[in-house]
Amino acid sequence: MLRAVLLDAIEMTRASGVPVTIKTLGRSVFLTDSFPVMVMTRVREVGRKWHVPLVNRLLRYTQMTVFGIEIGRDVELGSGVFFVHTLGTVVGGDSKIGPRVRILGNNTIGTAKDNGCPVIDEDVEIGVGARILGPIKIGARAQIGANAVVLQDVPPDSFAAGVPATIRPRKKSDRTAS
């Protein structure tokens, strides 16, 4: 578990767009809400694996109460998922989120009809207030705009915006900037 937490800190620092140094690593660990949320999530995973009673539930309630984020028990978070703002974020069902995904806040990732949950590849950025619902796949390095409602697959290196979201390829300059 300690290896996973260290990897989370390193990948979270990378996801924030700065070079990984002792100083930037310290900022990610001590000055963000994302790191304690990820540590609690990793402890929850270990508690479920070893069938330790009440650990999952108590830490889930702590995440909801202190940080305002709800992460379901069957959610798979890749290393370094970076919750820029945790308040109002819900990740539910059996959603799978890849490494270094940046989630800006007040998002819903899951299902509305119990028909499956999203799979989000690495290095995706999800704007504030976005809703990603259903059995869809968000490709690597995609961007989801603020308040977008995504109900269909988003290919890699694409941009989704609107209600419901329309998808267009990202410009080459957009991809090299991030």
Alpha-carbon distance of 94 to 176, in angstroms, equals 32
Q: What is the pTM of this model?
A: 0.90
Can you tell me which residue has the tokens 């705009």?
145
Burial class from Cβ neighbours inside 10 Å (0-12, 13-18, 19+) for residue 177 reads: exposed
In order of start, what are the domains of the chain with their CATH numbers? 2-177 (2.160.10.10)
pLDDT tens track for 92-132: 999 999 999 999 999 999 998 888 999 999 999 999 999 99
Answer for the pair 134, 118: CB distance below 8 angstroms, yes or no.
Answer: yes
Percent of the chain with pLDDT over 70: 96
